Chain A
Amino acid sequence: MRLGAVADPAIGTGRPRRALTERNRAERRLAWMLCAPAVAVMALVAIYPIVYAIYLSFQRYDLRFPGDKSWIGIDNYTTILSSTDLWWQAFGVTVLITVVSVAIELALGMAVAIVMHRAIFGRGVIRTSVLVPYGIVTVAAAFSWQYAWTPGTGYLAGLLSSTAAPLTHQWQAIPIIILAEVWKTTPFMALLLLAGLSLVPEELLRAAKVDGATAWQRFWRVMVPVMKPAILVALLFRTLDAFRIFDNIYILTQGSQNTRSVSILDYDQLFTALNLGVGSAMSVLIFLATALIAFGYIKGFGAAAPGQEVNR
């Protein structure tokens, strides 16, 4: 804020930058000093592991065969990318879970956000109670879903048939995983969308109503365009989260019957097979995939956000 305020007049008046240098430099120095501890901690806990993972990904490094450690270039990557029955299978499952769960969460989250926004009585109670699933530890929630869908211990397994064990079939387990995800994170989506809803000016909606817009038109033509930045941010957050899904699957199926996500598959390479080389390469690929998702959204976001048109 402060730095921006100082910099602007310099540009506006076209005066040489040197004029403000004394103060500018001091503030810059202060800013760097204030940031330095955070940057150092980030470097230690984030950048170092990332660089180390990239370094490991080019090695044959299996903890079980420490003598065979060697530099093997991109072999780990070709191994992974040529594995159709494991990597691409897990990738497909992950994409399916991501797309379906985020789409459902967006629709449901919007509905919940509108309810929260329009609620006249007990706003606090409604907003709090909607957030309960999001507040529950994912693993604890996943265990209760697991018990519910296990014949003998659960009330949901019996709904299908008396001997059904839905978590042991791929095409029944995946919808259950999606359901658990949706149940858990719709409140988060709703909360982000609620923030967006409060940006929509009431006068705009009233004006539209006077002009004869139907409820659907007011929603689709007025609210959604104004909310677009908030929707995109919510989608970005949730897509990145959903793509890295681990805990729900780990508890519900342990990745059996081809319900693995890429994170589960990576975990198996690293912690069961102790193959640090292949595991790190897979981590890097997952990192690239999430980076690609983020990049795609931000590109799309930049092009579509109304606020940014001005800057072009």
Chain B
Amino acid sequence: MALAALALATAAGCGSGQSSSGPVTLNWYIFPEFSGAFVKSAAACSQGSNGAYEIKIQTLPNAADGQRQQMVRRLAADDSSLDILGLDVTWTPEFAEAGWITPWPDDVAKRVENDTLRSMVDTATWKGRLYSAPFNTNTQLLWYRKDLVPNPPTTWKQMISMAEDLAKQGKPHYIEIQGAQYEGYTVWFNTLVSSAGGQIVSDDGQRVTLDQSAVQALDTIHELANSTAADPSIGNQMEDQTRLQFEAGRAAFELNYPYVYPSAKADVPDIFKNMAWTVYPTVKEGVPTHVTIGGIDLAVGAFSKHKQQAFDAIQCLRSPQNEIQNAVLGGLPPVLESVYSDPKFQKAYPMWKAIFTTLKQASVRPKTPAYQSVSLQISYTLSPPSSVSAKKLGTLRSRIEDAINSKGLVP
């Protein structure tokens, strides 16, 4: 009885209910997108395929960890119902190494790489092969208050001293940054190391390459966290807490994604009036800043029964029209360079120039199948930010070393 019920449940869970004729169903596992942009493009692509395929959206959990866990559990069981996978930019090496996603055929790969932002192609490539197609991207800008800061800073040093001056005058002065023990803190650290000219892990993901540039990154965190410029709760701040502090009028600076702009417009018109943006400050004078890139890449599941159709569908989903639609409706910055000169996009994104400049020289987080462990070790070792100093470099190096070799426990 129990066995029968179990078998039934398994069958119901995995069956995709394919009929032999008519369009094949392509399951698209993607994060929940609330504007409906994905639903629209999925429908349009299905329509345009002339009966070749029908894209069915399978909504993943909100949080990135939950999305990854759900897909990994299915893939570890060779689930053939995963046709198109929406992967965070840091997951391609892991899924590729584990044999869960299919590399793109060379001719199609060339088409995908053409016109796509270089850093995004980098996130989608593992061991020289393209395993996924960049779908949308994102990056951080420096947001500041025009009324408090007439000339925005270009370096971290300037920004910290400006904030300290404002503090002395008793004005809102915090620099809002993500310092909680989570992925966002790793993003900050990666930006600082890259902007100081370094790299956390070698390109092949085999060696830790933290050097003098990491010392500069650690010094910057130390300097901020131990100054009056830091929010006292820096150790608990994630993207949304930093946004709220800025909207509450307690901050002069905020490093965050562009979503904070429409949010301030809706929530606090008074602050919004004085809200301005510029590119992320540099660590070293004269060396351009390399902000960590974020976003989603689309891959074809290794156990999918409709790979050809899935490759076709992905190319349709990331067409220029759909990329613009995702940007205008859903606020997701496109990965195609040509779209940035489209007036429709520029209108929806007043800060497009700063974003484009940032994206052109963006940095990529460590590329290793063990990225999750590497990131956990970084945010764990550097928490709380006030405890950070150059002395942590040794511990950090050995913990990342263990992580990329999947040795020891993860925090």
Chain A residues at the B interface, C-beta cutoff of 8 Å: 41, 44, 62-66, 68, 79-80, 83, 86-87, 163, 165, 168, 256-257, 265, 268-269, 271-275, 278
Contact = CB atoms under 8 A, between A and B. Distances in A.
B97 interface: yes
A153 to B, nearest CB: 12
B274 interface: no
A163 B233 contact: yes
A278 B409 contact: yes
Contact of B409 (A63, A68, A80): A80
Given A165-B236, A168-B235, A265-B409, A272 B369 contact: no
Contacts of A272: 65, 69, 372-373, 376, 410
Interface in B228-244: 232-233, 235-236
Interface residues of B, number: 27
B407 interface: yes
Contacts of B199: none
Contacts of B409: 79-80, 83, 86-87, 265, 269, 278
Contacts of A62: 370, 406
Contacts of B372: 272-274
B69 A63 contact: no
B181 interface: yes
Contacts of A168: 233, 235-236
Given A41-B2, A165-B233, A273 B98 contact: no
Contact of A64 (B69, B181, B369): B369
B98 A64 contact: yes
Given A64-B370, A65-B369, A268 B410 contact: yes
Contacts of B98: 63-66
* A interface SS class: helix
B409 to A, nearest CB: 5
Contact of A273 (B2, B233, B406): B406
B122 interface: no
A273 B76 contact: no
B394 interface: no
B94 interface: yes
12 contacts: A41-B2, A44-B3, A64-B97, A65-B369, A165-B236, A168-B235, A257-B181, A271-B72, A272-B69, A272-B372, A274-B72, A278-B409
Contact of B72 (A63, A68, A79, A257): A63
Contacts of B408: 79, 83, 278
B411 interface: yes
Interface in B78-105: 94, 97-99
A255 to B, nearest CB: 9
B159 to A, nearest CB: 24
Contacts of A165: 233, 236
Contacts of A66: 97-99
A64 B94 contact: yes
A79 B181 contact: no
Contacts of A268: 376, 410-411
Contacts of A275: 406, 410
Contacts of A41: 2-3
Contacts of B73: 271
Interface string B348-376: 00000000000000000000011011001
Contacts of B373: 272-273
B369 A273 contact: no
Contacts of A87: 409
Nearest to A152: B244
Nearest to B410: A273
A275 B408 CA distance: 10
Interface in B332-352: none
Given A41-B3, A165-B236, A278-B409, 7 more contacts: A64-B370, A65-B370, A80-B409, A265-B409, A268-B411, A269-B410, A274-B76
A65 B97 contact: yes
A64 B205 CA distance: 13
Contacts of A278: 408-409
Given A41-B3, A65-B97, A256-B181, A79 B406 contact: no
B406 A64 contact: yes
Contacts of A64: 94, 97-98, 369-370, 406
A79 B69 contact: no
Contacts of B235: 168
Nearest to A256: B181
Contacts of B233: 163, 165, 168
> Which 6 pairs between the two chains have the least Cβ-Cβ distance?
A64-B369, A273-B410, A62-B406, A168-B236, A86-B409, A273-B373
Contacts of B411: 86, 268
